[in-house]
Amino acid sequence: MEAKKKITFDDIARYTNFSKTTISRYFNNPDSLAPESQRIISEALVKLDYKENKVARILANGQTEFIGIIVPEIYHRFFSEVLNQILSTYETYGYKFLVFIGNRNEESERRYIQELLSYQIEGMIVLSHTLSSEELSRLPLPIVTIEREDRHVCSVNTDNYTGGYQAAALLADRGCDVLIHINSPTDPHIPAYGRITGFQDCCREREVRCEVLYRPVDRSHEGDQTILQEIIDTLEQEHKGEKKGIFLSNDTLASTMMNLLFRKYGRLPDDYLIVGFDNSPASREAIIPISTVGQQVDKLAGEAVRLVVEQIAARKAGKSFRGKKPVHLVIDPVLIRRESTEGTAGSV
């Protein structure tokens, strides 16, 4: 690239016939200008090859407007949807996001965090489970976690307990004789553990027989198929003729279970009722639309960004950005009733 004369606001104003004030407003509050004016200025910037130098500005005022994000992976819909929603808050707060995929490797995550700190990120949002909240709390910047162990840091989580309770209540209301919850072995310090206790408490209050089956699910689709097929075989022996209400820890598992039953019977038998968790596309797009406990992902992500931005502002104002105790925000789950709990689904 040949060296070019540096383009100034004066040059842009002259080129577009707008005032310098208008050009400045374009950079600081673009939506205060008419869309047509925005378009003219934005095209002029490309034509003039204008480069605002934020790096120089950072050195002047120390504000990078970067937030670091560490996600475990974005293969599962829950993580990619949360990431989608976080990135979309740019329009509201103006913060840019540097994203790392942790892949459940402690050492990598520590290096990523050092890398993020070296770019003077102002805050961090962590979805990955790998590092303890105690370790995260020692980092010198505002941190908010989403749906992971959070004893020592601020967090935003779904009210998983209520979600588990709602799922059990729906199945009990539909007259199930026995309720089964299928989940992977879960650490009680993870918010999602509440799904299990909520389910159990509801069954106890309603005096409905119940069982929690801990199985190593969520590792591969083929593995899940094998595990769920074994569960179906056992249920058909042990609960023959009974109306079975099955609550699975996520919608992907619920859809896999539905497909196994459908392949066997050509429909969802009347004595099986199924509820998932998340309200991910897997529930809506299943062969029979699956009832589910919806997580409000837009709110989880939106509140996480709001909270971290609030603490960044406190820190800039010279105040302590950490209160005496970490803040834990809780988002309500939303029970969504669909065909899989009608008890007459899939009849042909």
Nearer to a second copy, 210 or 286 (CB): 286
Of residues 3, 5, 107, 185, which one binds a second copy by CB under 8 A? Answer: 107
51 binds a second copy (CB under 8 A): yes
Residues 6+ apart with CB under 8 A from 28: none
CB of 123 to a second copy, least distance (A): 13
132 binds a second copy (CB under 8 A): no
CB of 268 to a second copy, least distance (A): 10
CA atoms within 13 A on the CB side of 69: 23
Which residues pair with residue 210 across a beta bridge? 179
CB of 221 to a second copy, least distance (A): 5
Of residues 10, 92, 104, 115, which one binds a second copy by CB under 8 A? Answer: 115
Of residues 19, 103, 226, 234, which one binds a second copy by CB under 8 A? Answer: 103
92 binds a second copy (CB under 8 A): no
Tell me, what amino acid is at 43? E
Of residues 22, 38, 197, 229, which one binds a second copy by CB under 8 A? Answer: 38
30 binds a second copy (CB under 8 A): yes
Give the whole-angstrom CA distance, residue 311 versus residue 314: 5
Nearer to a second copy, 202 or 258 (CB): 258
CB of 104 to a second copy, least distance (A): 13
Which residue, 258, 255, 256, 257, is CA-closest to 279? 255
Nearer to a second copy, 242 or 265 (CB): 265
Q: Looking at residue 290, what DSSP letter applies?
A: P
Identify each DSSP E strand in 16-140 by its residue range.
Answer: 66-71, 96-101, 123-126
Which residue, 283, 287, 243, 248, is CA-closest to 264? 287
Give residues 327-346 in contact with a second copy (rule: CB under 8 A).
346
Give residues 160-219 in contact with a second copy (rule: CB under 8 A).
none
Do the Cβ atoms of 283 and 335 come closer than 8 Å?
A: no
CB of 86 to a second copy, least distance (A): 10
259 binds a second copy (CB under 8 A): yes
Give residues 277-296 in contact with a second copy (rule: CB under 8 A).
281, 284-288
Give the whole-angstrom CA distance, residue 57 versus residue 207: 64
100 binds a second copy (CB under 8 A): yes
Binding pattern for the stretch 55-84 against a second copy, x by CB under 8 A and - elsewhere: xx-xx----x--------xxx----xx-xx
Q: Specify the residue for token string 């996520």.
A: 250
The SS3 of residue 207 is coil
Q: For the purposes of burial, counting CB atoms within 10 Å of the CB of 345, is it exposed (0-12), middle (13-18) or buried (19 or more)?
A: buried
Do the Cβ atoms of 263 and 229 come closer than 8 Å?
A: no
CB of 38 to a second copy, least distance (A): 6
Which residue, 278, 258, 304, is CA-closest to 164? 278
CB of 300 to a second copy, least distance (A): 16
Of residues 17, 28, 118, 237, which one binds a second copy by CB under 8 A? Answer: 118
CA atoms within 13 A on the CB side of 58: 12
53 binds a second copy (CB under 8 A): yes
Give the whole-angstrom CA distance, residue 268 versus residue 261: 6
CB of 56 to a second copy, least distance (A): 7
CB of 178 to a second copy, least distance (A): 26
Nearer to a second copy, 173 or 285 (CB): 285
